[in-house]
Amino acid sequence: MGFSFDLVINALIAGILLGGFYAAVTIGVSISFGILDIVNIAHPAFIILGSYIAYIVNTRLGIDPIVISVVMLPVFYLLGAGIYQVYYESFEKHGQDALRGLSFFFGLLFVTEVMLILVFGVDYRYVEAPYIGPSWRLGVMDFPLRMLVPCLAALAMFGVLQMILSYTFIGRAISAVAQDQLALRLMGASPTRIKRIAFGISIATTAVAGALLIIIQPVEPSVGREYIGRVFAICVLGGLGSLPGTVIAAMLLGIIESFTATFYGPSWAPAVAFGVLLLTLAFRPAGLLGR
Amino acid sequence: MRTRFFLLISIAVAAGVFFGARLVNNDYVFFAGYTILQFIVLATAWNILGGYTGYVNFGSAAFFAMGAYSTVFFHKAFPMPIPILIAIGGVVSGVVGFGMGYLTLRLRGAFFAIATLALAVVLQTLVVNWDYVGGSRGAYIIRPNDIAWIGPYIQYLFLLMLALVVISITIARWIERSQLGYGFATIRDDELAAEASGVPTLKLKLVATTISGALMGMAGAPFPYYIGYLQPSSAFGLEYAVNSIAMPMIGGTTSWIGPLIGAILLGSLQQIATVTISSAVNLLIVGLLLVAFVIIAPNGIVGLVQGWMRRREK
Amino acid sequence: MAGALLEVAGLSKRFGGFVALDGIDLAVTAGERVGLIGPNGSGKSTFVNCICGTLTNETGTVRFDGELVNGLLTHERTRRGMARSFQLPRPFATLTVADNLRVPLLYTVNARPGASLSAAELDARCAELLQLVALADKATKLPRDLTQVEMRKLELARAMAAEPKLLIADESMAGLSQSEVDDIVNLLIRLNERGITIILIEHIMRAVMKFSQRLVVLVSGKKIADGMPADVIREPEVERAYLGQ
- The 10s digit of each residue's pLDDT in C135-170 is 999 999 999 999 888 898 899 999 999 999 999 999
Residue range A175-179: mean pLDDT, rounded: 74
User: pLDDT digits over B37-96, tens only?
Assistant: 999 999 999 999 999 998 888 889 999 999 999 999 888 888 888 899 999 999 999 999
A277 vs B129: CB contact, 8 Å cut-off?
Answer: no
**Strand order across the C214-219 sheet:** C82-84, C166-170, C197-201, C33-37, C214-219, C222-227
C33-37 and C197-201 beta bridge pairing: parallel
Q: Give the angle subtended at the CA of A219 by the CAs of A214 and A221, to the nearest 5°.
A: 130
Backbone angles phi, psi at C18, to 5 degrees: -90, 125
B56 vs A41: CB contact, 8 Å cut-off?
Answer: no
Backbone angles phi, psi at C108, to 5 degrees: -115, -60
Task: Identify the three-state secondary structure at position B108.
Answer: coil
* Cα A48 from Cα A76, distance rounded (Å): 12
Residue C243 confidence (pLDDT) above 70: no
Residue A22 confidence (pLDDT) above 50: yes
- Give the mean pLDDT of chain B: 88
Domain count of chain A? 1
Chain B CB within 8 Å of residue C54 CB: yes
Q: What is the DSSP letter of A219?
A: B
Backbone angles phi, psi at B259, to 5 degrees: -60, -35
- Using a CB-CB cut-off of 8 Å, the residues of chain A touching B284 are 111, 114-115, 118
pLDDT at res. C245? 47
* Cα C140 from Cα C134, distance rounded (Å): 14
- Using a CB-CB cut-off of 8 Å, the residues of chain A touching B110 are 33, 39, 98, 102
3-state SS track over B35-87: HHHHHHHHHHHHHHHHHHHCCCCCCHHHHHHHHHHHHHHHHHHCCCCHHHHHH
* Cα A68 from Cα C58, distance rounded (Å): 51
* Cα C124 from Cα A252, distance rounded (Å): 60
Does residue A276 fall inside a structural domain? no
Domain that holds residue A34: 17-223
pLDDT at res. A287? 66
Q: Give the angle subtended at the CA of A185 by the CAs of A182 and A186, to the nearest 5°.
A: 90
Q: What is the DSSP letter of C214?
A: E
Does residue A121 fall inside a structural domain? yes
* Interface probe, candidates A106, A120, A281, chain B, greatest B C-beta count within 10 A: A106
Are A107 and B287 spatial neighbours (Cβ–Cβ below 8 Å)?
yes
Residue C105 confidence (pLDDT) above 80: yes
Q: Domain limits of chain C? A: 4-91+164-243
Does residue A229 fall inside a structural domain? no
Task: Identify the three-state secondary structure at position C83.
Answer: strand
ipTM for this model: 0.90
Nearest chain B residue to C158, by CA = B197
Does residue A259 fall inside a structural domain? no
- The pLDDT profile of chain B, 314 residues, written as one tens digit per residue, is 788 889 999 999 999 988 888 888 788 888 899 999 999 999 999 999 999 998 888 889 999 999 999 999 888 888 888 899 999 999 999 999 998 888 778 777 777 888 787 778 788 888 888 888 777 788 888 777 777 777 788 888 999 999 999 999 999 999 999 999 999 999 999 999 999 999 999 999 999 999 999 999 999 999 999 988 888 888 888 788 889 999 999 999 989 999 999 999 999 988 888 777 777 788 888 889 999 998 888 888 998 888 888 888 76
Residue C216 confidence (pLDDT) above 70: yes
Chain A CB within 8 Å of residue B295 CB: yes
Chain B CB within 8 Å of residue C68 CB: no
B193 vs C91: CB contact, 8 Å cut-off?
Answer: yes
pLDDT at res. A20? 92
Task: Identify the three-state secondary structure at position C238.
Answer: helix
Nearest to B291 among A96, A104, A228 (CB): A104
Please report all neighbours of A, defined by 3+ CB atom pairs within 8 A. B
pLDDT at res. B171? 96
Q: Which residues contact A96 (CB under 8 A, 6 or more apart)?
A: A90, B298
* Cα B258 from Cα C227, distance rounded (Å): 58
pLDDT at res. B122? 81
Does residue A286 fall inside a structural domain? no
- Give the mean pLDDT of chain A: 85
pLDDT bracket for residue A97 (50, 70, 90): low
Are A99 and B56 spatial neighbours (Cβ–Cβ below 8 Å)?
yes
pLDDT at res. A288? 64
User: pLDDT digits over A39-53, tens only?
Assistant: 898 999 999 999 999
pLDDT at res. C8? 93
Residue A95 confidence (pLDDT) above 90: no
Residue C68 confidence (pLDDT) above 90: yes
User: pLDDT digits over A244-289, tens only?
Assistant: 888 899 999 999 988 888 888 877 777 787 778 777 776 776 666 5
B129 vs A97: CB contact, 8 Å cut-off?
Answer: no
CA nearest to C101, candidates C128, C73, C80, C76: C128
Residue range A222-229: mean pLDDT, rounded: 83
Nearest to A232 among B114, B280, B291 (CB): B114
* Interface probe, candidates B197, B199, B254, B313, chain C, greatest C C-beta count within 10 A: B197
pLDDT at res. A274? 77
CATH of domain C4-91+164-243: 3.40.50.300
CA–CA min distance B249, chain A (Å)? 9
Residues in A lying within 8 Å of B, measured between beta carbons: 33, 39, 41, 86, 90, 96-100, 102-104, 106-108, 110-111, 113-115, 117-118, 222, 225-226, 228-229, 232-233, 236, 265, 267-268, 270-271, 273-275, 277-278, 281-282, 285
Nearest to C86 among B179, B189, B193 (CB): B193
Residue C64 forms beta bridges with which residues?
Answer: C6, C67
